[in-house]
């Protein structure tokens, strides 16, 4: 029977650090060869330094810290390792096949002074920029970073612009595990750390399926890494490994550096849960976290490490001319700046996900809209609306609205044997005359005597002109419900039928959403 979680004991070479943050050294084992082969490489499109080392030069994850260090020395003009451009020539150090697997002689640790960028956290920097595997990060490297930065009390909460010292001379910190020699005492057999599987209930099966099919895609949209297949290894000091069968127990790696083990069916015993959480302070085991998606999301967010998690709070409103309101079951402020926000909702099977254009608009304000569940919007075939610039023409406006009118109509205001008074109406809708210049008071009196109304469009607001000739005009403002209870757009314009009339420019993403939903936008 396959064990869901196993603890394996292996012998590994240990690393030792000095207590001084200024003079950290590693235990010396074997000297690295002085001559390391190099090659001149021309950067191609979509290349990254990680790809060059791993794909083209067959490096292993444990080689990367040393190779990055050598690369800096060989290419002093490259200041940012995650920014190389096509056509650039680089001196690439090649992995030394004879030295792989050994612990190298290390000089006192030097460091980079790294400036935290928006949305970054320590684990992602070490993983993506310095190329360190998780087992190195959590087993040893975080300790070195903490010792180099005694003034930073909490490495989980870094802010943009903050400077942090990153050790750069961590050469081959991941010695290979070796097999147990026969003459050495074999550790006693370790019992299966998974508790006996409880009887599967329909509820457990359904919730587990919902988490995998519904929540995991949402977690990935939030920038989290979800492991759902294969074994997930968590090395411990002294050569002990904890391995999790993620086909039974999913594991989440959050962008805050936290790890969450979703033990949906209670397979991890309390003893092992305590062991994991004590050994890995950034890891939380959620045992039977809830009976539905809301319960589970509550518990996941509670241990996520984000700055502020708020449930059922007032909506967020952003925008300038247009006002867009985002409501969420949870509104999560990712850091203290309160400019990076998740708005999270759980959708029913018949609910549609937020349109891409609206998601893009929100992202420009630092808001990520996370829809858990729901269905994708069906594309509107041959229903896309148009955008038209009216250039302040009432004739063009009435044409687009489909309203009947006459232009340049001659109206006899006074007729006698001696005198005829005729007025040419520029635009006439029913018994209402629309003109951009007002006639004399005498003519206005004659027009009124004919039971006609006169509207001076140069002096009368557009909304009042439309109200005088049309019924059913909405606004201003116009409220468009993008998704019920979640997103609403308020425009400083008017709505007539499937037409939005606006006197001010409208944001391009909002325009895209309006036209994609089949409405026309008429810009006055």
Look at residue 389 in the predicted model and tell me its pLDDT: 92
Residue 498: its pLDDT value, please?
Answer: 93
pLDDT at position 140 is 65
Task: Provide φ and ψ at 74, rounded to 5°.
Answer: -85, -20
Q: Determine contact, residues 476/497, Cβ cutoff 8 Å.
A: no
Fold classified for 12-167? Membrane-bound Lytic Murein Transglycosylase D; Chain A (3.10.350)
Measured CA to CA in angstroms, residue 386 lies from 37, 357, 373, 383, 515 at distances of 62, 16, 31, 10, 6
pLDDT in tens, the chain (524 residues): 444 443 332 223 222 333 333 332 222 232 333 445 788 999 988 788 888 888 888 777 666 767 777 888 888 888 777 778 889 999 998 776 544 443 333 233 467 788 888 777 787 787 777 766 665 676 567 777 887 888 887 777 788 888 888 876 443 333 332 222 233 333 333 333 333 333 333 334 467 777 888 888 888 888 888 887 888 888 876 666 788 888 888 999 998 889 999 998 888 888 888 888 888 888 999 998 888 889 999 999 999 989 899 998 888 988 878 899 999 999 999 888 878 899 999 998 888 899 999 999 999 989 999 999 888 876 655 678 899 999 999 999 999 999 999 999 988 888 887 888 888 999 999 999 999 888 888 888 888 888 999 999 889 999 999 998 888 899 889 999 998 889 999 998 999 999 999 998 899 999 999 999 899 999 98
DSSP state of 405: -
pTM of the model: 0.57
Angle at 5 between CA 4 and CA 7, to 5 degrees: 145
Beta strands in 66-189 (DSSP E): 89-93, 111-115, 163-167
> Residue 11: which of 272, 189, 186, 245 has the closest Cα?
186
Q: How far apart are CA 295 and CA 202, in angstroms?
A: 17
Instruction: Please choose, from the candidates 248, 275, 274, the residue with its C-alpha nearest in 3D space to the C-alpha of residue 262.
Output: 248
Q: What pLDDT is stored for residue 241 in this prediction?
A: 76
Provide CB contacts within 8 A for 276, sequence distance 6+: 234, 242, 261, 268, 283, 285
Backbone angles phi, psi at 98, to 5 degrees: -75, -15
State residue 454's pLDDT score. 92
Q: What is the pLDDT of residue 284?
A: 93
Cα–Cα distance for residue pair 230/219, rounded to 1 Å: 19
User: Distance (Å, rounded) from C-alpha 191 to C-alpha 193?
Assistant: 6
Q: Where are the domains of the chain?
A: 12-167, 308-375, 404-469
């Amino acid at each position: 029977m396959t064990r869901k979680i196993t603890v394996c004991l292996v012998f590994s070479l240990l690393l030792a650090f000095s207590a001084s943050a200024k003079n950290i050294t590693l235990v010396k084992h074997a000297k690295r060869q002085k001559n390391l082969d190099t090659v001149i490489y021309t950067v191609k499109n979509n290349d990254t330094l990680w790809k060059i080392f791993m794909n083209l030069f067959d490096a292993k994850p444990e080689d990367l810290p040393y190779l990055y260090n050598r690369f800096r020395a060989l290419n002093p003009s490259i200041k940012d390792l995650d920014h190389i451009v096509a056509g650039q020539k680089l001196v690439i150090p090649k992995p030394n096949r004879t030295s792989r697997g050994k612990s190298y002689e290390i000089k006192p640790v030097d460091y980079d002074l790294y400036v935290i960028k928006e949305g970054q956290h320590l684990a992602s920097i070490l993983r993506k920029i310095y190329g360190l595997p998780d087992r190195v990060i959590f087993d040893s490297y975080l300790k070195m970073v903490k010792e180099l930065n005694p003034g930073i009390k909490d490495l989980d909460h870094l802010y943009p612009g903050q400077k942090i010292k990153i050790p750069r001379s961590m050469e081959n910190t991941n010695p290979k595990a070796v097999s147990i020699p026969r003459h050495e005492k074999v550790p006693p057999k370790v019992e299966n750390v998974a508790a006996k599987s409880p009887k599967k209930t329909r509820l457990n099966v359904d919730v587990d399926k919902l988490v995998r099919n519904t929540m995991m895609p949402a977690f990935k949209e939030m920038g989290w890494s979800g492991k759902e297949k294969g074994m997930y290894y968590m090395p411990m000091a002294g050569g002990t490994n904890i391995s999790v069968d993620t086909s039974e127990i999913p594991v989440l790696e959050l962008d805050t550096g936290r790890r969450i083990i979703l033990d949906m069916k209670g397979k991890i015993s309390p003893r092992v849960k305590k062991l994991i959480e004590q050994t890995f302070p950034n890891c939380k085991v959620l045992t039977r976290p809830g009976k539905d998606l809301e319960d589970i999301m509550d518990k996941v967010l509670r241990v996520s490490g984000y700055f502020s998690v708020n449930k059922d709070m007032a909506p967020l409103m952003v925008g300038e001319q247009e006002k867009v309101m985002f409501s969420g079951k949870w509104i999560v402020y990712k850091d203290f700046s309160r400019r990076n926000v998740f708005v999270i909702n759980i959708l029913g099977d018949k609910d549609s996900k937020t349109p891409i254009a609206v998601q893009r608009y929100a992202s420009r304000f630092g808001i990520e809209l996370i829809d858990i569940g729901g269905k994708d919007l069906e594309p509107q075939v041959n229903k896309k609306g148009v955008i038209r610039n009216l250039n302040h023409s009432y004739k063009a406006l009435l044409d687009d609205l489909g309203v009947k009118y006459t232009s340049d109509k001659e109206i006899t205001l006074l007729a006698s044997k001696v005198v005829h008074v005729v007025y040419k109406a520029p635009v006439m809708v029913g018994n209402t005359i629309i003109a951009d210049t007002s006639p004399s008071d005498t003519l206005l009196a004659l027009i009124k005597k004919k039971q006609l109304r006169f509207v001076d469009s140069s002096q009368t607001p557009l909304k009042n002109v439309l109200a005088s000739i049309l019924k059913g005009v909405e606004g201003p403002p116009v409220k468009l419900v993008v998704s019920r209870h979640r997103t609403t757009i308020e425009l400083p314009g008017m709505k007539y039928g499937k037409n939005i009339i606006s006197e001010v420019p409208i944001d391009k993403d909002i325009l895209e959403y309006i036209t994609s939903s089949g409405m026309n936008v008429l810009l006055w």
